[in-house]
Structure 1
Amino acid sequence: MSTGRPSAEGRSTDWATVLEEMEGEVLAAEESLTAGRTEDIAAWGRRTADWTPPQHLGQLPMDLRERAARLLQHQLSVAEELAERILQSRQQRDLAARMSYARTRPAAAFVDRAM
């Protein structure tokens, strides 16, 4: 009987646990967005490892497929928001860099034509 916990090799022992772990990651990413923690948001954006289904568990059971589909939609929604926030952050950073390194603007010169 499966305990639903990661095994000694660090692998989850059932699909329900795998989905719980993935849901936890999505909720953590969502919390980072809600709290506006820019460092955490940037860290989520730097993640490069793609998730691959655990081969040792076989196919996803039919009774978990709807849950997995909802999780996928939630993941896609959070990923889209992360991408938007990262893009906004980069745009703000680039604008700030241009403003701080821009040449000083010439002072306005007024000519008195009444003379």
Structure 2
Amino acid sequence: MTGAGPDDGQGRTPPPVNWAVVLDQLEGEVLAAEQTMARGRAEEIAAWGRRADDWVPPSTLGPLPPDLRERAARLLQHQLAVAEALVERITQSQKQRDVAARMSYGPTRPVASFIDQAL
């Protein structure tokens, strides 16, 4: 299942890749996204939402081995749950920014004036 890819054009051969390594990398990305959400920094969360590249498995992998199918299915469910949570957090953050912007730039409220009639 492990196979070295072709030369990368710079005299280096990429490290051997197999499905277990690929699943480890994908799990690492999901965990990184969860950690980003836990920190609660809106800019970092939004950056995850702007990632638009679809994942394409390396062409040298071949089909997913039967013994890794359950792990891959659990990982997919985890990815989908994290993606849904990211969308929710991004949406909430945008709504909060919209409300803050309306409050900051809205017309000022009239200020109460008290006039001393005794003058």
Q: TM-score, normalising length from structure 1?
A: 0.81
Listed one character per residue, the Cα deviations across residues 8-65 of structure 1 (whole Å, up to 9, x for unaligned) are 5657610100000000000000111122132221110110101122222111111100
Q: Structure 1 residues 54, 38: CA separation in 2 closer, same or farther (over 3 Å shift)?
A: same
- Which consecutive residues of structure 1, in runs of 5 or more, have no partner in the other structure? 110-115
CA RMSD, aligned part only?
2.5
Residue 19 in structure 1 maps to residue 19 in structure 2: no
Match of 1:2 in 2: 2
The list of structure 1 runs, each at least 4 consecutive aligned residues, that deviate by more than 6 angstroms after superposition, is: none
Aligned partner letter, 1:23: E
Q: Distance in 2 between matches of 1:9 and 1:103?
A: 63
Contact 2:2 2:16 in 1 (8 A): no
Match of 1:32 in 2: 36
Residue 83 in structure 1 maps to residue 87 in structure 2: yes
Match of 1:53 in 2: 57
- Which consecutive residues of structure 2, in runs of 5 or more, have no partner in the other structure? 114-119
